[in-house]
Amino acid sequence: MAWLREQMMLYLPNLVTYISFTAFIVLSLTLFFKRQQKVWMLDKIPGPRGLPLLGSVLYLNTVDLCESFARVVKICKIGPVVKFWAYNTPRCLLSGAKAVESLLTSQKNLDKGLMYNFLRPWLGEGLLTSAGSRWQTHRKLLTPAFHFKILEEFMGVFNSQGNKLVQKLHKKADGQPFDIFSDITLCVLDILCGECVV
């Protein structure tokens, strides 16, 4: 019986290695084929072909923001729904009104992306970060505040602040580029403050 135990001890490290290696291969193949099914489905959506592991990041990554935006616009000209790969993650760009409308009016696509998880500790579970039935409840409570009849009461503030913005922009319209961000931000603040006063 001792010889059998000695033989088993000789083969045991090899057996553990073979089982571990086989389990690794099976797990890798399972994950690969699950991912490949998604890739085959995504290949039906038009878009630029990406590099393995990098996707389309090298094409979209530029120092100049205007160039980066121009490249995204070029991709969007392929169709109303376009896919591209950001590293190993597929992304879809919606540039057609029908595609955006079908997404925004859908009752199924209420889950937020992973980026919203970073906001939850700061903002809690509100309209911006919640999903599903909780989001629908918050949305129903908030919708009446943006009804056209309520917004009509503030048209005077919108118009007067909009006219002030147009006058500011008219002074800067000399053919040279300028940053409009601060002007728009101040206009929004003036509208909000104007609504509080009214």
Structural domain includes residue 178: yes
The β-bridge relationship of strands 81-86 and 89-94 is antiparallel
Domain count across the chain: 4
With respect to residue 128, please indicate whether it lies within any of the assigned structural domains.
yes
- For residue 136, tell me if it sits in a domain: yes
Q: At what angle do helices 155-172 and 181-197 cross, to 10 degrees?
A: 160
What is the residue range of 123's domain? 110-144
Question: How do residues 18-29 score in pLDDT, each as one tens digit?
Answer: 788 889 999 988
In this structure, is residue 130 part of a structural domain? yes
193 and 152 in a single domain? The answer is yes
Domain membership of residue 2 (yes or no) is no
Q: Which of 112, 73, 113 lies closest to 95, judged by CA?
A: 73
| Total-model pTM | 0.45
Q: What is the pLDDT of residues 142-172, one digit of tens each?
A: 777 777 777 788 888 888 888 999 999 888 8
E-state strands within 50-97: 81-86, 89-94
Q: Does residue 1 belong to any structural domain of this protein?
A: no
Inter-residue contact 43 to 55 (CB < 8 Å): no
